[in-house]
C-alpha cells in the first residue's frame, strides 16, 4: 500500500467511532468496509506536474503516448484551448463524479458553487500522463470543464476536452458541454 493511501485510510479510520469501526470490521460487513475504503481512496488528491512551455498539442501527445497519437482530436489546439502560463505547473488533482443526467454546464456550476476549482485542458493532459490508472478507473471519460476549456465549434455547439484509458489505449477527445452524462463520468478538479 502506498504511503499516501495509508495516510488517507488513517484519516478515514480516525473519523469513525469505535462502534462504527467494530461494525465495519465484522466479517459480515466486509462489503460495507470495502465501499467505505473505496470512497476514501477516490477522494485522494494526486500530484501532477507538467511543462506548459512545450505547448498544448505536444503535452497531449506526450500524455497519450506515441502509439496513441491517432486517438487525439486535432481540433484541440493551443489557439482554442490556450495554456495561460509558462514553465512547470504543479497541482493537486482528483476526479469528482457527474450526477446522473447532469450536463458539464450543470456540473461546472455545482462544483464551483461547492468551492471546487475546475481543471483545464493542460491539467487534464498532465493528469492523463501522470495518472493513467486514475483515468482508467472511470468507465466513462474524465472531463476538463473550466471556462478556458470550452470551445464553440461549427454549429455553435460548445465542446470540452475529455480523456479515456482502456488498457494500453489512451484517448483525448471533445464532447458537448450541454450533453447529459451519468456518474460513470468524471470532472477533473484541483486542490489549493
pLDDT at position 186: 97
Q: Dihedral sign for Cα 48, 37, 133, 80, please.
A: negative
Q: What is the pLDDT of residues 45-66, one digit of tens each?
A: 999 999 999 899 999 999 999 9
Residue 23, burial from CB neighbour count under 10 angstroms (0-12, 13-18, 19+): middle
* Helix runs in the chain, H state only: 3-14, 18-25, 30-42, 56-64, 104-113, 121-130, 132-136
pLDDT at position 121: 98
Q: Which segments in the chain show pLDDT lower than 50?
A: 1-11
pLDDT at position 4: 40
pLDDT at position 46: 97
pLDDT at position 37: 60
pLDDT at position 5: 40
- What gap in Å lies between CA 32 and CA 140, rounded to an integer? 24
pLDDT at position 95: 97
pLDDT at position 65: 97
pLDDT at position 14: 53
Q: Domain locations in the chain? A: 3-42, 46-190
Amino acid at each position: 500500500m502506498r504511503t499516501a493511501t495509508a495516510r488517507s485510510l488513517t484519516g478515514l479510520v480516525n473519523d469513525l467511532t469505535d462502534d462504527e469501526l467494530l461494525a465495519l470490521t465484522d466479517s459480515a460487513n466486509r462489503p460495507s468496509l470495502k465501499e467505505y475504503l473505496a470512497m476514501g481512496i477516490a477522494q485522494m488528491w494526486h500530484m501532477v506536474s507538467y511543462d506548459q512551455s512545450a505547448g498544448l498539442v505536444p503535452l497531449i501527445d506526450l500524455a497519450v503516448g506515441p502509439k496513441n497519437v491517432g486517438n487525439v482530436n486535432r481540433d484541440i489546439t493551443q489557439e482554442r484551448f490556450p495554456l495561460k502560463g509558462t514553465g512547470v505547473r504543479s497541482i493537486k488533482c482528483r476526479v469528482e463524479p457527474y450526477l446522473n443526467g447532469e450536463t458539464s454546464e450543470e456540473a461546472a456550476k455545482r462544483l464551483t458553487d461547492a468551492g471546487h476549482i475546475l481543471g483545464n485542458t493542460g491539467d487534464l493532459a498532465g493528469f492523463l500522463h501522470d495518472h493513467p490508472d486514475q483515468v482508467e478507473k472511470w468507465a466513462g471519460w474524465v472531463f476538463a470543464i473550466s471556462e478556458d476549456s470550452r470551445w464553440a465549434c461549427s454549429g455553435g455547439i460548445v465542446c470540452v476536452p475529455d480523456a479515456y484509458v482502456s488498457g494500453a489505449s489512451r484517448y483525448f477527445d471533445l464532447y458537448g458541454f450541454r450533453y447529459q452524462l451519468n456518474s460513470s463520468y468524471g470532472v477533473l478538479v484541483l486542490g489549493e
